[in-house]
Amino acid sequence: MTTILKLGGSVITDKAREGTLDEDGLAVAADAVAEVNAELVLVHGGGSFAHPRADAHGITDTDGTDDAAAVADVHSAMTALSDAVVGALHDRGVSALPVDTLSAAARDGDGDLSLPTGAVERMLGEGFLPVVHADPVVQTGAGATVLSGDEIVTSLARSLDAERVGLCSEVPGVLDADGAVIDRVDRWADVAGALGGSDGTDVTGGMAGKVRTLLDLPVPAHVFGPEGVVPFLAGETPGTEVRGG
Amino acid sequence: MTTILKLGGSVITDKAREGTLDEDGLAVAADAVAEVNAELVLVHGGGSFAHPRADAHGITDTDGTDDAAAVADVHSAMTALSDAVVGALHDRGVSALPVDTLSAAARDGDGDLSLPTGAVERMLGEGFLPVVHADPVVQTGAGATVLSGDEIVTSLARSLDAERVGLCSEVPGVLDADGAVIDRVDRWADVAGALGGSDGTDVTGGMAGKVRTLLDLPVPAHVFGPEGVVPFLAGETPGTEVRGG
């Protein structure tokens, strides 16, 4: 059974400095992944590599561009970050391979995503660990829009029939109105009051949208901070468990 | 209707110097592509960027490796070459986007290729020009093997129902025993005597295998040298026409 772990861009990049790794954050996550024996797919966001460039070009997950150079600019920032993640895993003896979604995915005119998983499944079958990254994706009628790591996770959770999904960001879980971690969310109504809208500085949306999406998944999802990666991969339930089905 | 043009690695790289572009060769091809109005998919090989590395790691189109770092090494050489090709097209106002086949394709245990085309078709629909490159590809039971540009062309010719296929290499066409360009090949028997085996220095095979594969295609294919790119894209028939169906 496959486990999917998403590392938010904020965990592996320095949000304050464009195009700069958070070396410590990446090392902690890579160390944890290197300890795991399970069949794992890693997904990561764009952080300070991609968001400033997407913002500069005016590309979001719904607003696209026909400017191929702008698309390639965001894409090359993402592949640079992916290379760093894959390299950190190779340094620890993990058989990681990069998967870029611009090359495989597409959205229809309603923005619905198709993400074929033939390559990812073959990688898992051969003992490789696929590292799938947020990327521009071509969309009917819109040029190219942004495909977030969260959206990749929810697509892969279904298509790979994943057993567990973990989303690691800079916050320790879904927080209530007092800033405390909520252990478990079963229904949107339980958290609607505590969760605001999406974070305006992040082209991929904030916690409210994330929880709503995770509630729709057929598998349990866990939302945690960097300290949760090791326990999550060990089968524990750090942070918030979101289980809608 | 879609036209597919493959630029052999020997046309756009300096075969004598590892990881070095043939700037003139790339400029000629990019200039020609920039003049075209047709719906076009560009495919390119690895040349001196990828072949020396694939050789060093012992990876061919049939011999694979489980070494993820070796796979990533060949892949990163290919993406660097792809970036150069895409950049040359952007410089000329062409809306090119890179497509990497490691992220999309897979081979089964018999070596048969699956190359989903959702992303490529969506790019064409949105007016982008997909630039698809030779790459490692994961294969059941073999780790990762090499996927050549020629193999990508034959797969896409079928799946995209292409109208015409052009293969540009450093030779002006399929040559007879005297070194003259054969105008047209309809059957393997016509050229079996003139064509030797595959070129031992090229992990992706030589002319004999190429002609055999092109004869199996349901669309006309044209084999020509760099001087044939402009006439091919103008609808002419430079070099050798291979038409088996």
A52-110 pLDDT per residue, tens? 999 999 999 999 999 999 999 999 999 999 999 999 999 999 999 999 999 999 999 99
Q: What's the pLDDT score for residue B201?
A: 37
- pLDDT, tens only, B89-116: 999 999 999 999 999 999 999 999 999 9
**Whether pLDDT at A237 is above 50:** yes
pLDDT at A243: 94
CATH number of A2-242: 3.40.1160.10
Nearest to B199 by CA among B186, B210, B213: B210
Distance from CA of A136 to the nearest CA of B (A): 10
> Which of A91, A101, A126, A156 is the best substitution to test chain B (most B C-beta atoms within 10 A)?
A126
User: Residues 112-151, chain A: which have Cβ within 8 Å of B?
Assistant: 114, 116, 118-119, 121-123, 125-129, 137-144
pLDDT confidence of residue B148: 94
CB atoms within 10 A of CB B91: 12
ipTM score here?
Answer: 0.93
pLDDT in tens, chain B (245 residues): 899 999 999 999 998 999 999 999 999 999 999 998 889 999 999 999 999 999 999 999 999 999 999 999 999 999 999 999 999 999 999 999 999 999 999 999 999 999 999 999 999 999 999 999 999 999 999 999 999 999 999 999 999 999 999 999 999 999 888 889 999 999 988 888 777 644 433 333 478 888 888 999 999 999 999 999 999 999 999 999 999 87
Q: What are the chain B neighbours of A90 within 8 Å (beta carbons)?
A: 68-69, 72
Question: Which of B21, B126, B76, B49 minimizes the C-alpha distance to A71?
Answer: B126
How high is the pLDDT of residue B219?
96
How distant is the Cα of A137 from the closest Cα of chain B, in angstroms?
8
B72 touches chain A (CB under 8 A): yes
For residue A186, the one-letter residue type is D
Domain ranges of chain A: 2-242
pTM of this prediction? 0.94
Confidence (pLDDT) at B206: 72
* A178-187: Cβ within 8 A, 24+ apart: A181/A239, A181/A240, A182/A240, A183/A240, A183/A241, A184/A240, A184/A241, A184/A242, A184/A243, A185/A211, A185/A215, A185/A240, A185/A241, A185/A242, A185/A243, A186/A215, A186/A243, A186/A244, A187/A215, A187/A244
